[in-house]
Structure 1
Amino acid sequence: MPYLGKVAAAEIVGPTVNGNCKPLRIKDEDGQIYVVKGIGNPGKAALVSELISVQIAERMGLRVPSYAVMDVPEDLIQYSLDPLAANLSGAPAFASAWVTGAEELTFHEAQKLPDDVQQRTLLLDVLLGNGDRELDAFGGNVNLLWTAEASPIVFDHNLAFNMDLPEYWIENHVFAGQAHAFRDYAVRDEWGKLIDSVLCDWDNIASLVPAEWMYWDADGRTSATNPTIEERRGWLERYRTKPEIFWRDL
């Protein structure tokens, strides 16, 4: 399992080249480098989305980077010369291990991937409500890493659980060409069994989310971050409670 538990930051290396939410590269006490996002930006709800989504992707048979919840000491933040370090203050951060030698997948490479990998990734994003994996021959934001392995690495899900995506949004998805495969009801049933098996482990998935991310007042726990954990589970279960809406996107 790629989950590494809680790790402690030892050095802020600097900003990443890509990423709209301005993540930082941070080295932990063992020398491992991570791409790290904090509650300042992209925010608590985004970190919940990251941690839940990567676990679901893993359970759906997709490759993900190793990931952790990172404690960043306040003195490390205060003495950093990088102004983005302030985004890490106030709560643990989400940390995704840096994948050495990995490159972003190109559109040409993406279309050569096995159908199963393409369909699995497309289904993941429909399940999550993640519209942030767009790519065509002219460019886009694919959020897939390519290594020497046969399967790509899925990452960057801070925009998942978008419950207001427009109808037909998947037309811009990198694997939109696989949508036809889900029109077969027998195929839907098989994929539905996979989703069922994933959500059977929901309690373990949700248990990894720090209270500091789930509530604006982590101590009192009276003001929940939106969407709440319960709303997120309800959203995931719509493939069963509202199948006509869920499969419509495909």
Structure 2
Amino acid sequence: MNPIRNGAPLSIIEIAERSTDGRTFPFKCRCDDENLYYVKGKSANHRSLICEWMAGNLAASFGLNLPRCAIASAPASLIRLHPEGKDLGTGPVFASRAVENLNWISYASRGRVPLSIRRDILVFDWWVHNADRTLSETGGNPNLLFDASTDSLVVIDHNLAFDTEFDERLFLETHVFGDEWEPLCQDLVEMANYQTKLKQALDTSWGPAWKRLPQEWLFHDDEQTVLVEFDERACKELLERCTHQDFWRLA
């Protein structure tokens, strides 16, 4: 199944609760497909919604295991009934299907994850400049849900991708799978395979995802007079560096 839902936006029919996890405190909502979703709207800011959508499409094309993602909206009548409804808003929102009965990955269990998946996640985050997947013995914010019965992961939260202040060395020091970087960079065949896979994901998903992006997200205001600071051309150029050998080198 394609993790990205295309076609008409989902309609939110129930606002169940608001999460206390994460930085954006998403709403847990039921949509007209009868599934529950974690929904980020007006309070999350439009740049973060763009990052979620664009990086989510890239992640799905790359092959990461992420929940089904979609664009959704809530009717004004429903928003008025919720005490925090204004933080969700009536415009287009980003919805990620809720995954139940899984826990955050722990530092002790990260070694149980198959090597190929650990490397996939590390390389993808390096590619999109997503430093928001940290974990050490003292804690962190991995944004990974762990299924102990299968040693598999569900990848969530890309709202901080395309970080314009990305620190490569700090990324490798703090990423949950950062210790896989050095051995990976000694495997020329694996590096070449990843570069091919990344280029295919970029070619397949970036253009279509940008076309489906809600135009409202490109502006800070409802009048659409103040542009959001998201440079689509610069972000694509960042991703295109995967075609060059220095993709693997620290600046």
Normalised by the size of structure 2, how large is the TM-score?
0.89
CA contact (8 A) 2:74 2:90 kept: no
CA contact (8 A) 1:68 1:95 kept: yes
Does 1:214 find its partner at 2:218?
yes
Normalised by the size of structure 1, how large is the TM-score?
0.90
CA contact (8 A) 2:28 2:39 kept: yes
Q: Equivalences for 1:146-161 in 2 at 5 Å? A: 146-147=146-147, 148-161=149-162
Gaps of 5+ in 2: none
CA contact (8 A) 1:211 1:218 kept: no
Q: CA deviation at 1:41?
A: 2.1
Give the Cα separation in 2 of the matches to 1:249 and 1:194: 21
Q: Look up the match of 1:195.
A: 198
Give the Cα separation in 2 of the matches to 1:53 and 1:65: 13
CA contact (8 A) 1:214 1:229 kept: no
Q: Count residues with an aligned counterpart.
A: 244
Q: Look up the match of 2:32.
A: 29
Give the Cα separation in 2 of the matches to 1:217 and 1:139: 37
Give the Cα separation in 2 of the matches to 1:102 and 1:50: 21
CA contact (8 A) 1:214 1:228 kept: no
Q: Secondary structure at the match of 1:190?
A: helix
Q: CA deviation at 1:223?
A: 5.1
Q: CA deviation at 1:177?
A: 1.1
Structure 2 residue aligned with 1:48, among 36, 45, 50? 50
Q: CA deviation at 1:217?
A: 6.3
CA deviation profile, 1:41-88 (whole Å, cap 9, x unmatched): 22111001001111111121210001111111122112212x2x2122
CA deviation profile, 1:166-212 (whole Å, cap 9, x unmatched): 24022100001100112433332111100111111121232221111
CA contact (8 A) 2:10 2:73 kept: yes
Q: Look up the match of 2:112.
A: 112
Q: Secondary structure at the match of 2:249?
A: helix
Q: Give 1:237's aligned amino acid.
A: E
Give the Cα separation in 1 of the matches to 2:31 and 2:89: 16
Does 1:18 find its partner at 2:21?
yes
Q: Look up the match of 1:9.
A: 12
What do you get for the CA RMSD once the two structures are aligned? 2.0
Does 1:129 find its partner at 2:126?
no
Give the Cα separation in 1 of the matches to 2:218 and 2:236: 14
Q: Give 1:80's aligned amino acid.
A: H
Q: Give 2:169's aligned amino acid.
A: Y
CA deviation profile, 1:141-168 (whole Å, cap 9, x unmatched): 0100122444201101101110211240
Q: Give 2:154's aligned amino acid.
A: I
